[in-house]
């Protein structure tokens, strides 16, 4: 495991029980320019999660892509992921650090609350995520975050800031301009008719920033 940066298109996997199909989709996204991959599957049983995470770890090695596991620090450690992303109810940064070691990347969801980000940094988080900035089909009841909050947070925080929630290659430009280091995307990537092209369009937003 080596320390990596958090920047660019941050692809979050869909819940797909078909591992071969999932790997095919992810490979397209990586070929298109996704720089970070987060494995997130809320519905899979433990054996499938282990299988998929291990396969995705190998795939991300091939593309030299940062690999993050959602919520499950033990799984992240078991497959040699670069890090883990935790939410409000997923345990403390300190506990997660014990499982990942000093070089593991820990990201924390801070929703629309900058004070949560300050506390996460105090505990040793490596990046923070804010959202939802736009209506999300994945989390339709998610709290709303304002672009002005992102701008203010970017001025105050000295770690990478990830934006999430209903992001497309059209509305994502405003978030990059406001200071987002990475855009976390689900639906607009995996539901695209050409996943690689969709990834390239997101990647281009950072080249223009």
Burial class (CB in 10 A: 0-12, 13-18, 19+), 18: exposed
Distance (Å, whole) CA 184 – CA 209: 17
The C-alpha torsion from 94 through 96 and 158 to 206, rounded to 10°, is -170
Known catalytic residues are 40, 109, 139
Q: Which residues of 150-159 are buried (b: 16+ CB within 10 A; e: fewer)?
A: beebeeebeb
The helix (H) or strand (E) run that includes residue 9 is strand 8-12
Residue 86 DSSP one-character state:
E
């Amino acid at each position: 495991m080596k320390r990596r940066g958090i920047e660019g298109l941050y692809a979050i996997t869909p819940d797909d029980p078909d591992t071969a199909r999932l790997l095919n989709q992810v490979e397209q996204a990586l070929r298109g320019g996704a720089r970070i991959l987060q494995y997130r599957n809320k519905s899979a049983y433990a054996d499938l999660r282990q299988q998929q995470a291990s396969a995705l770890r190998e795939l991300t090695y091939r593309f030299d892509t940062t690999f993050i596991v959602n919520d499950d620090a033990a799984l992240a450690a078991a497959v040699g992921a670069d890090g883990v992303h935790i939410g409000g109810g997923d345990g403390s940064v300190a506990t997660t650090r014990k499982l990942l070691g000093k070089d593991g990347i820990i990201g924390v969801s801070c929703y629309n609350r900058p004070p949560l980000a300050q506390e996460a940094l105090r505990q040793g988080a490596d990046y923070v995520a804010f959202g939802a900035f736009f209506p999300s089909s994945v989390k339709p009841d998610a709290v709303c975050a304002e672009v002005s909050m992102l701008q203010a947070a970017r001025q105050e925080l000295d770690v990478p800031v990830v934006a999430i929630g209903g992001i497309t290659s059209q509305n994502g430009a405003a978030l990059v301009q406001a200071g987002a280091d990475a855009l976390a995307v689900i639906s607009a990537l995996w539901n695209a008719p050409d996943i690689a092209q969709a990834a390239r369009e997101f990647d281009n937003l950072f080249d223009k920033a």
